Amino acid sequence: MRQELSRTETIPVFAPQVGADELAHLAAAIDVGWLGMGAGTKEFEDRISAFLGLRDRSVVTTNTGTAALHIALRAAGIGAGDEVITPSFNYVADHQAIHMCGADVVMCDIRDDNLGIDCEKAAALCGPRTKAIVPLHFAGIPCDIKGVYQLASERGLRVIEDACHGFGSLVDGKRIGNFGDIAAFSFDPVKVVTSIDGGCVVVRDPAELERLRRLRLLGIDRDTTERYKNRRAWDYDVVSEGYRYHLTNVLASVGISQIKRVEDFIHTRQGVCREYNEAFHALPGVKTPSTDFSGVSPFIYSLRIRDGKRQALVDHLRAAQIDAGIHFVPVHKHTFFKDARRGDMSVTDRVVEEVLTLPLHSCMRPDFVERVIDGVRSFFR
């Protein structure tokens, strides 16, 4: 009977790994009687820092990843009249965050191998107003980050890494965020670690750390230290612009519960991605990700379906009650950003017709993995 039921259950693209442990952490957080930003927020930041292996860098949590990107750009000094380069093949949060700074988005093409920014094309887009570059580590697979930092040092650009897909991914043995300039992460409902909604910035410069903390909380100067003790500063000054972007104790408690198990989440996700690679790599017209997922914290499993067969495969999977997603609709096709400056988009324009996201969950049920594999393979038989 159970078997019968599970056979007809739709497999979602994303499934949160939340339950009893999160509820216990939530109950304990509510019991403290301090719901807003406080000691729990600080504990989550400390745990993020420990997980990323940070020594000379600090973590500033926020209420969303978009907010993290926004204040990261502002802390780096991005403002009106500046240009910021980011891939069109990215989530629109980045473009909106750039826009919120009063800066202009310049959209760049991606590479065919890792679907990250094409640094040669980015170099060609640099102009006198270019101030920063926002590369995305798509699906958790590191982009050509050495190329990005090479370009940044040649042109004097700031780098704000969109690491929202890559919480825990490694480059040369270091976790993303633990090297380079500034990195932004998201803990939104579908990310590998969730705090229901949340995000963080990782920063090295102590002055920028202070700016980030003020930008996060309405420009107020000394509130962070007090709030981290579950107290408020009553005599404070407001010294800059600021937003209401902080993460509450209650939501941080969910993040704490999750980050205690993150190694397990990453391990099981890598296992599923490897099974998928193995099952799909030889199928005609299918291009699996060019990685064995070692050192990758996989956010999504995105593969490419060529020969115009993607929609037929989506329909075939849907008939087998398997959901599939598409990451992304390129941002230069959206109404609001259609006039943004951009270069050649030939790889993006091709790739967006081919990408397909299959279900990937932390601790994914083995029968789900089996059904996804059978579902895809039966299409090609």
Ligand X SMILES: *Cc1c(COP(=O)(O)O)cnc(C)c1O
Residues near ligand X, by CB under 6 A: 64-66, 90-91, 93-94, 136, 162, 164-165, 186, 188, 199
Q: Which strand (E) or helix (H) includes residue 46?
A: helix 39-52
Q: C-beta of 355: minimal distance to ligand X in Å? A: 14
Q: C-beta of 309: minimal distance to ligand X in Å? A: 26
Considering the complex, state which of residue 252 and residue 286 has its C-beta at the smaller distance from ligand X: 252
3-state secondary structure of 237: coil
Considering the complex, state which of residue 75 and residue 313 has its C-beta at the smaller distance from ligand X: 75
Q: C-beta of 300: minimal distance to ligand X in Å? A: 9
Considering the complex, state which of residue 169 and residue 186 has its C-beta at the smaller distance from ligand X: 186
153: number of Cβ within 10 Å: 10
Q: In angstroms, rounded to a whole number, what is the distance separating the alpha carbons of residues 88 and 174? A: 27
Q: C-beta of 16: minimal distance to ligand X in Å? A: 14
Q: Are 88 and 109 in contact (CB under 8 A)?
A: yes
What does the block give as tokens for 44? 């989550």
Q: Is the peptide bond before 328 cis (omega within 30 degrees of 0)?
A: yes
Q: C-beta of 207: minimal distance to ligand X in Å? A: 25
Considering the complex, state which of residue 52 and residue 163 has its C-beta at the smaller distance from ligand X: 163
Q: C-beta of 71: minimal distance to ligand X in Å? A: 12
Considering the complex, state which of residue 22 and residue 188 has its C-beta at the smaller distance from ligand X: 188
Residue nearest to ligand X (CB): 65
User: Per this entry, what is the length of the chain?
Assistant: 381
- Strand-pairing partners, residue 158, are 132
Is 18 buried (19+), middle (13-18) or exposed (0-12) by CB count in 10 A? Answer: middle
Q: In angstroms, rounded to a whole number, what is the distance separating the alpha carbons of residues 173 and 380? A: 38
Q: Are 177 and 52 in contact (CB under 8 A)?
A: yes
Q: In angstroms, rounded to a whole number, what is the distance separating the alpha carbons of residues 55 and 199? A: 20
3-state secondary structure of 148: helix
Task: Count helices and strands (H / E) in the chain.
Answer: 14, 13
Considering the complex, state which of residue 29 and residue 143 has its C-beta at the smaller distance from ligand X: 143
Q: C-beta of 53: minimal distance to ligand X in Å? A: 23
Considering the complex, state which of residue 83 and residue 94 has its C-beta at the smaller distance from ligand X: 94
